[in-house]
Amino acid sequence: MNVKQITISIIALIFSVMAMPLSSEALDTKPQNISTNSIKSTPDTKKAKITATLTEVPIKKLEPVAGNAPSLLPADKQWQMVWNDEFDGKALDESKWNYRLHYWGYKSPTFTSEGVELDGNGHLKINLIRKGDDFYSAHLQTGSLTFDIPRDPNSKNFWPFGKKKEAKFMHKYGYYEIRCKLPENDGWHAAFWLQSPSIGTHPNPKYCGVECDIMENYRQHTEGTIGCGNGWGGYGRENKWYGHFWFPYEETADGWHYYGVDWSPEGYVFYADGKMVGKQMAPECPVSDVDQFILVSTECHGYHRSFGRGGLESKDEKGWIGKPVPALFNAVLPDCFEVDFVRVFDAK
């Protein structure tokens, strides 16, 4: 074996170690008390389902943008807005957002850059699109990660070497908030979440990030619940989803909802409509210490099962591999995920 071959082998070994799925035993991070929200649970399996109740906590209103709706922020800290999009223009501000169009390196059969509009009243609308027997919707993000990189069709390499799109916004810690109206139909879902460009590339998620799901509504129409919580260790078979909370969806008078997370070195505290949902705190749960990007996304169910995803959003639905689930064919259009604002605050 020559020097070049040895060098290539060493590099391959390094990347294989970095991509190894996280072991909670190795990190000693088995969650014992994921939440102080009257929830006592020691989940032993992936994708643990924790039923949560919303808890009244001190909240203060802050109006960082004159004339726009206020933010609902935890009252125990002083906050300063550091990034926002109020969607006041005529078109999506692409200096702030990218479109996610690929899935594990493949062109997604359902992600699109179509159907995204600003209504002229300060609202973003991500529409459900039907074309014949296929359905599409958009996935917006302020950064990207490796599986956004188009896969080389002539290569069998697992690790997608390539240049990611330049991030529009990355941040660490703070309060991340969305004000939104959720889609009315089943068969697709909306989400507000944070992701790391390097998730799963280090045995300790502190150094490579976690997936922080601030709001996902894929069980809203089937179970009447909204989900939030963290996952870590990449997206292999052994990734950990120890602490997803599911709380009852409650209508509001005007249809608008607030969802947010307070991410600090101590952990994560999740909120919905000014109430606390639950906590994931160190040392029981890992806390990301790296910059992460924001996603405001939608997804039509069924399609990505052809990639072996097996995600919760299609787990309990009667569909067929790589095709839209039957619920989509019953969807009444127009339907959209409507967003009033996305804001990020730092604690002073």
- Count of alpha carbons within 13 angstroms of residue 74, beta-carbon side: 23
Range of the domain at 310: 22-347
- Provide the strand spans (E) within 120-222: 124-127, 129-131, 134-136, 139-141, 174-181, 188-195, 211-216
The answer to whether residue 12 sits within a structural domain is no
Region label for 284, one of left (φ > 0), alpha (ψ between -120 and 50) or beta (otherwise): alpha
Q: Is the pLDDT of residue 236 over 90?
A: no
The answer to whether residue 1 sits within a structural domain is no
Higher pLDDT residue, 7 or 186?
A: 186
Collect all residues with Cβ–Cβ distance below 8 Å to 340 and sequence separation of at least 6: 68, 69, 86, 87, 122, 123, 179, 180, 256
The answer to whether residue 14 sits within a structural domain is no
What is the predicted pLDDT for the residue at 247? 94
| pTM (2 d.p.) | 0.85
* pLDDT tens-digit series, residues 242-270: 668 999 999 999 999 999 999 999 999 99
The answer to whether residue 311 sits within a structural domain is yes
The answer to whether residue 11 sits within a structural domain is no
**Structural domain count of the chain:** 1
Of all residues in the chain, what percent carry a pLDDT higher than 90? 61
The answer to whether residue 6 sits within a structural domain is no
The answer to whether residue 112 sits within a structural domain is yes
* pLDDT tens-digit series, residues 17-65: 343 333 333 333 333 334 434 333 333 334 445 678 899 999 999 999 9
The answer to whether residue 63 sits within a structural domain is yes
CATH number for the domain that contains residue 160: 2.60.120.200
**Helices (H) then strands (E): counts for the chain:** 5, 23
What is the predicted pLDDT for the residue at 52? 83
